Structure 1
Amino acid sequence: MFIRNERSIKEFMQNYPIVSTLVIIHLVLWFIIDFLGLQIGLAIRDIGIGSNFLVAQGEYWRLFTPIFLHGDLMHALFNSFSLVLFGPALEQMLGKPKFLFAYFGAGLIGNIATYIFEPLLYVHLGASGAVFGLFGIYIFMVMNRKHLIDQSSAQMISTILIISLIMTFLRSNINIYAHLFGFIGGFIIAPLVLKNVRPYSPWRNQRRRYRDDDEIQFDPNRWRKKRWLPQKVRQHLIWIIIGILAVIGLLSRFF
């Protein structure tokens, strides 16, 4: 479920338009706000950043807009990478409307918890709560919908969740309540969005192309084309990812 078999970025974007759009929004907003420092970007940040004080003043959209914003490049890349890794399978399984509902619903629950439990002057931004909501859906599958997730994927997502939760408490400047309640929100939303869904299948994304005479085009060299990653790397991808997450978590404590 978490190993990408797409042959190009274009194919990935065609198969998973919602995930692709969210990642593009993350990076574009970071580019115009932090890299270019454009006035319009700074205005977007000021209008969208999560602020408990301003929410208390009636600016309720700030419970939603922080999901699109990030504090720096590493923050944006980390959440975008997590979304690319864990989002595609759910986007295919749930379909676009239910995926959007689950993703933003979990993020909203995490931000509401932040408003309730954090001090009035607390400010925050980031998509981490929504990403943890995806973890919540997967864990619900592991516990209650075992036919929707294979054993290796179940072990992978459980391991990554444990490491992510540990890092949540070890790293500084982390919105702990958004992470925890984003996960809880995803778990609660899961039975609503998983009803009548089919397990993830990479073959479902393969579109048959027809000639004008309705004959199916077939590329005899298709299976010989190189994948994005060598086979040995793909086989140990989970441990590579875990190592990267661990290194990032440790480095973030010193920089």
Structure 2
Amino acid sequence: MFIRNESFYSFRRSYPIITILVAIHLILFIWMNFLPGGRSILAIGIGNNLAVAYGEYWRLITPIFMHIGIGHVIFNSFSLVIFGPALERMLGKFKFLLVYLLTGIIANIATFYLGNPYMQHLGASGAIFGLFGLYVYFVIYRKDLIDSANSQLVITILLIGLVMTFVNSNINVLAHLFGLIAGAALAPLILIGVKPYYASRVVADDGPPTFDPDRWQKKRVTNKRIKKGLWIGFAILVAAGILARLF
């Protein structure tokens, strides 16, 4: 589910919503940091609790797409590329975009009501934790949608992510927690009629049944890849913590 081996062209065709979201992240990041008018875009779109209180409700949505630090935009975009494709394939483009936006908005609403009145914030982390909320629901209630190895990977990455949420002082804790809760809460409705990731792929099988003598070797290779994915995920999150402190 989480091992990416597509080319850029095939990834773009298979996961158009994720491709568009990452493109928006990067375009806005470049614009805000390096192009004329970027600071105005930042000022207009950043999450600002005081401004929301005065009726600027678009600020509950726009921060989901905005990042100001290089480590922030790279980590969130990379997380979306790794953990989003399985959900876009399983849910379909509309449902995936809906849950991504809803969890991000709910995270920002929680930040508005429970955070400091003068707090400013931005980033896709709330929406990404919303995706993890769906995966947590898989692990607990819909084991038919995820295998045990990927369940272990999800829980491991999530635990590390939660630890980092509380360790780093510049993290929007409320957005992370309520994004996660929102994803799990929406899961029962979002997952109606959803098939497992492997079942959502189109497999051509026009020939007669055949015996594959290498099937056990292939399984061992797959297990090695999953273990490698665990370590890669761990390394990514540790690196993100370092980058968060630097930027």
Superposed pair shares fold, TM > 0.5: yes
In structure 1, what is the Cα distance between the partners aligned to 2:78 and 2:204? Answer: 26
Aligned residue for 1:22? 21
Structure 1: any 5+ residue segments left out of the alignment? 209-229
For residue 248 of structure 1, report the CA deviation from its aligned partner.
3.0
1:12 is the counterpart of 2:11: yes
Flag structure 2 segments of 5+ consecutive residues without an equivalent.
Answer: 206-220
Counterpart for residue 183 of structure 1 = 180
Partner of 1:212: none
2 CA distance for matches of 1:252 and 1:103? 23
- Work out the CA distance in 2 between the residues paired with 1:84 and 1:54: 32
Find out whether 1:237 has 2:236 as its counterpart: no
Deviation at 1:202, TM superposition (A): 8.3
Report how far residue 235 of structure 1 moved: 5.1
Distance 2:178 2:99 in 1: 13
What is the correspondence of 1:161-240 to structure 2 with a 5 Å cutoff?
Answer: 161-201=158-198, 204=201, 236-240=228-232
Identity %: 52
What does residue 134 of structure 2 align with? 137
Counterparts of 2:85 and 2:66, CA distance in 1: 21
**Counterpart for residue 38 of structure 1:** 36
On the 8 A contact 1:67/1:127 being kept in 2, the answer is yes
Q: TM-score, normalised by structure 2?
A: 0.88
* CA 1:193–1:145: 2 relative to 1, 3 Å: same
Letter in 1 for 2:3: I
Which one has the bigger helix percentage?
2
- What is aligned with 2:115? 118
C-alpha deviations, 1:121-167, integer Å up to 9, x for none?
A: 10000000000000000000110000000111110000000000000
Q: 1:206 to 1:46 in 2, by over 3 A?
A: farther
Q: State the distance in 2 between where 1:237 and 1:26 align.
A: 24
The verdict on how the C-alpha distance between 1:177 and 1:116 changes in structure 2, with shifts beyond 3 A counting, is same
How far did residue 37 of structure 1 move? 3.4
CA distance in 1, matches of 2:88, 2:202: 12
Post-superposition shift, 1:254? 5.7
CA distance 1:87–1:113, shift in 2 (3 Å): same
